[in-house]
């Protein structure tokens, strides 16, 4: 993902930005409320944002106009929820577009929707669902990070397919082609991200138990 600057038609850029904006606004309000209520989690939130930044900067060229890389959003989504992660992901994508020429400003809305909204919502749902049925936190966080990452790339493939449908098979055919190309690099990257995130989560259980308890993460069977 990280669709590059100027690659999408203008109407698509505007449309994805409009779709993404409410999630980011709501997430910003959620962050303000959370920091006021639980100021002790500020450092963990900042570290989660840094995790997103570092992992998502490790890019491998993939589909024309895009790239493959870990997303890092599964951890933040599991700890703080998807709307907070939408803000963290937007900040990361903005800085990468400006400082690293990774992604772009015109395509920011599309990249936010795939990496900072869809992926985190999938990761959050999986983490809560799996811990809710008694699976260990490491297992749940692995599934959340892995499948949240893949959900991002499914979304990016659909975004590219909508912008550039196949002349014969249309949007569905283009999406299948984009997914097939992404899968070569993204499936192993997603699994690697899941394993790394599980390791990080286990370390947090050891060294940040207070913050995890404050976020009600350790009330599940972890």
> Tens of pLDDT along 42-87?
999 999 999 999 998 887 766 555 667 899 999 999 999 999 999 9
**16 DSSP β-pair partners:** none
| Predicted pLDDT at 1 | 63
Strand ranges for the chain from DSSP E: 60-61, 67-68
- Residue with structure tokens 């990774």? 102
**166 DSSP β-pair partners:** 170
Residue 186 pLDDT greater than 80, yes or no: yes
| Predicted pLDDT at 128 | 94
Tell me, what DSSP letter sits at residue 39? G
Whether the CB-CB separation of 162 and 7 falls below 8 Å is answered with: no
Query: Could you give all domains of the chain from N- to C-terminal order, each with its CATH number?
Result: 10-214 (1.10.1760.20)
- The two tokens of residue 121 are 């919502």
- The two tokens of residue 4 are 């590059």
**CA separation, residue 1 to residues 27, 173, 201, 211 (Å):** 22, 19, 25, 32
Residue 39 pLDDT greater than 50, yes or no: yes
Chain centroid offset of residue 72 CA: 6
What is the band of 150 on the pLDDT scale with cuts at 50, 70, 90? very high
């Amino acid at each position: 993902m990280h669709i590059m600057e100027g690659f999408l038609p203008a109407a698509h850029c505007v449309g994805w930005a409009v779709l993404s904006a409410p999630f980011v606004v709501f997430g910003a309000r959620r962050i303000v409320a959370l920091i006021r209520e639980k100021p002790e989690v500020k450092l963990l939130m900042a570290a989660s944002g840094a995790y997103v930044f570092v992992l998502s900067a490790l890019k491998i060229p993939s589909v024309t106009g895009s790239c493959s890389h870990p997303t890092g959003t599964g951890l933040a989504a599991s700890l703080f929820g998807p709307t907070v992660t939408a803000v963290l992901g937007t900040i990361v994508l903005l800085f990468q577009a400006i400082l690293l020429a990774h992604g772009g400003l015109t395509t920011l809305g599309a990249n936010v929707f795939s990496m900072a909204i869809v992926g985190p919502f999938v990761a959050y749902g999986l983490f809560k669902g799996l811990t809710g049925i008694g699976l260990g936190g490491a297992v749940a966080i692995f599934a959340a990070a892995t499948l949240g990452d893949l959900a991002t790339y499914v979304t990016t493939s659909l975004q590219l397919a909508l912008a550039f449908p196949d002349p014969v098979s249309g949007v569905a055919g283009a999406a299948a082609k984009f997914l097939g190309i992404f899968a070569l690099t993204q499936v192993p990257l997603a699994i690697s991200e899941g394993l790394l995130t599980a390791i990080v989560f286990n370390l947090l259980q050891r060294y940040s138990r207070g913050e995890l308890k404050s976020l009600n993460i350790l009330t599940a069977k972890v």
